[in-house]
Amino acid sequence: MTSDITVHSVSADEVFANVWRRKWIIAVAALSGLILAVAYNHTATPRYTIQASLAPVTKGQFDGRMAALGVGLPNLNGLLGGGNTEFNQLVTRLTSPDVATLVMQDHELLTRLAASRTAFNATLDDKKRWVQPMPSALQRIMYSVRRVLGREPYWTPPSPAQLADYLNGNLKVSIDRDSGLATLELEHTDPQLGEDLLNAVIEAALTVTRQQRQVVITEQLAYVRQQLQTEALAEVRRGLTANLEQLLATEIDIRSRAPVVGQVFEAARATERPTHPKVILNAALGLVLGALISAALILAHGLIRLRSFH
């Protein structure tokens, strides 16, 4: 039994001694890992993080007497109140096809997206690259002629569904429970283009929200006016009149493009430096992984040799 313990102790010493004798291999492997990490950092396309924030808009609530009426007015309180539900719907709407359709009406923005090499290109079903074909003088002339004639350039924009899919996969949204602020985050290789894209998405979402609220407001105005014509109770008429005034005020806000559900708290802004790749982290990981992998291989090789010897 004592003999076995001695053998195992000596074997462990021999293993670690074997690793130490080959420390130069570990150093070379660590240096190689560092070189690979530096090469990756140098060749990887830098990406910037663009952030913006939205804040909910709170409006006066309905008179409590109208809540007691109930019948025929189930949506008015939330409509004028602009509560959390509607703000959450606004945030969800950021990645909807309706918003994507409005964004795509900005032809200049689409052209800039087409010329940029982003992950957005990979989302196209037909796998076509969005590039403006001007590699030769003749093609540049033909491109200019087509623009003068009012024809479309030589690239195919995506469908609203494809743009919505891109936003679904790349636009990150988080809502702070205390402040209610919604923080939007998007990564892009071009910081200025990323800012313009995120701002366009936000403005489109606010526009779609206003349009949808206008439709509901119009229906509710017609209903309240009809009720006023037939209602005889003075207290009910006072409540209906108060609701009518708030509906009209909300309609004015919508037509004047005033914020009614959410508003821009902070416009899109890109980080000053790329957030990807993470240069220092990648270099440290390359160095450590190179050393650990080589040490593990040397250790395994030493164990195999010792087992064969004993």
Please give the helix or strand (H or E) that residue 55 lies within, else none.
strand 48-56
Same domain? For 156 and 291 the reply is no
Question: DSSP 3-state assignment of 262?
Answer: strand
**So what's the pLDDT on residue 164?**
87
Q: Are residues 34 and 53 in the same domain?
A: no
Q: Are residues 13 and 130 in the same domain?
A: no
C-alpha pair distances (Å), 219 with each of 61, 98, 222: 19, 21, 5
> Same domain for 169 and 199?
yes
> Which stretches of the chain drop beneath a pLDDT of 70?
1-12, 14-15, 59-83, 114-140, 142-144, 146-158, 305-310
Indicate whether 62 and 26 sit together in one domain: no
| 82 plus 129 within the same structural domain | yes
pLDDT at 66: 39
Residues 59 and 203 in one domain: yes
At 62 the pLDDT is: 36
CA separation for the pair 68, 56 (Å, rounded): 27
Distance CA 176, CA 183 (A): 8
Residues 241 and 291 in one domain: no
Q: Which domain holds residue 120?
A: 48-270
My answer on whether 216 and 286 are in the same domain is no
The rounded radius of gyration (Å) of the Cα atoms in the chain is 32
Q: Say yes or no: 103 and 173 in one domain.
A: yes
- Asked if residue 146 and residue 39 are part of one domain, the reply reads no
Q: Which residue intervals of the chain are DSSP H helices?
A: 2-21, 23-43, 64-69, 76-81, 84-93, 97-103, 107-115, 137-148, 160-170, 191-230, 234-255, 279-309
Looking at residue 233, its pLDDT comes to: 81
pLDDT in the model for residue 259:
72
Q: Are residues 261 and 134 in the same domain?
A: yes
Amino acid at 240: L
Q: Give residue 165's identity as a one-letter amino acid code.
A: D
For 224, counting Cβ atoms within 10 Å of its Cβ (0-12 exposed, 13-18 middle, 19+ buried), the class is: buried
The predicted structure's pLDDT at residue 84: 74
- Count structural domains, the chain: 2
Name the residue among 75, 79, 83, 89 with its Cα closest to residue 58: 83
Helix (H, G, I), strand (E, B) or coil at 161: helix
